[in-house]
Amino acid sequence: MRIAMLTGGGDCPGLNAVIRTIVRKAETQMGAETIGFYDSWDGVVEQRYALLKTNDVRGIAPRGGTILGTRRGGPFDKKSGVADVQRAVADLQLDALVVIGGNGSLTVASRLFEEHGLPTIGVPKTIDNDVVGTDSTFGFQTAVQIATDAIDRLHTTAESHDRILVVEVMGRDAGWIALHAGIAGGATAIVVPEDPFDIETLTEIVRRRHDNGRYASVVVVAEGATPRDKSQVDVYKGNVSAVIAQELQARTGYEARLVQLGHLQRGGTPTSYDRVLATRFGLAAVDACVNREYGQMVVLRCGEIARASMKVTSGQTRTINLDLYRDIVASFVG
């Protein structure tokens, strides 16, 4: 049996743990060969790959990023892309292609199976935790921990200077990182894409906090947040956290500073949780290959590893639990 894999979309901590697990289980338990395509779908189309053995993946579990490299986009972006993927599967005599990716990569993998019958199997990953069908994705817990550590540190400097600190975290369409890091870090306010913000309400929260004798505020903002006032969308577009910081300073009179964590959240050593989840996903992915469960992805449900059709996440986004968000806002924010 010959199993191939690729890592697609944005990088995240835990990718190397999946690669390591697939190679080791395929070789030691199944006697299968494992191929790793370089640079996501580009490597498949151009047939750039490495034959991976256990010795090639020793010691990579603690490393962030991916030893295979990754890119955005896919074969449907090019006229001959799908034909090139079909040719690679045939030329290399692949029994399965494991696609380790987020919504975009899994949508591509689903289409290749549904529309062209290619033997794809999905492994969900993303720091955004926004893949429909699984309770969690590896990479998310690491990103939350990094953001939480940053917020913890920012509290002390904010208190020293009586400042408002606006912390921007990743989350274009879903506010999972903002919500969880904001809760863990004791944020003054949390702003997420799922619930458009009102700048007057934010101002009142911060002002009330200072009036009550707490002379510092940390406001956590997901990068995809939008204002409730639709006439102000263009004002905030592409720079939402910076504008929020400017508005809070102008409206409250307190000095405000912006901290954008950016790609810091995606890099570095994965947490133990993400390494374990990535390993469990890798083990299950090999089983899915052996059982020819094409068109399926491995998922986490109620603590157990299961399977789900990649169609459930194709073109979809898993958003936060708004009941939890609103309960937190009502109980703790401010």
Per-residue tokens: 257? 């500073």
Print burial letters for 68-87: b (CB count within 10 Å at least 16), e (below 16): bbbbebbbeeeeebbebbbe
Per-residue tokens: 152? 């913890």
- Single-letter code of the amino acid located at 82: V
Tell which residue, 172, 139, 199, has the closest CA to residue 15.
139
Indicate left, alpha or beta for 59 from its phi (over 0: left) and psi (-120 to 50: alpha): left
Does residue 84 carry a catalytic annotation? no
What 3-state class would DSSP assign to 183?
A: helix
Per-residue tokens: 16? 């190397």
| Catalytic one of 11, 39, 42, 128 | 128
Q: What is the CA radius of gyration of the chain?
A: 22
What 3-state class would DSSP assign to 74?
A: coil
Cα 106–chain centre separation? 13
**What string of DSSP letters covers 121-180?**
EEEEB-TT---TTSS--BTHHHHHHHHHHHHHHHHHHHHHHT-EEEEEE--SS--HHHHH
Could you list the active site residues? 128
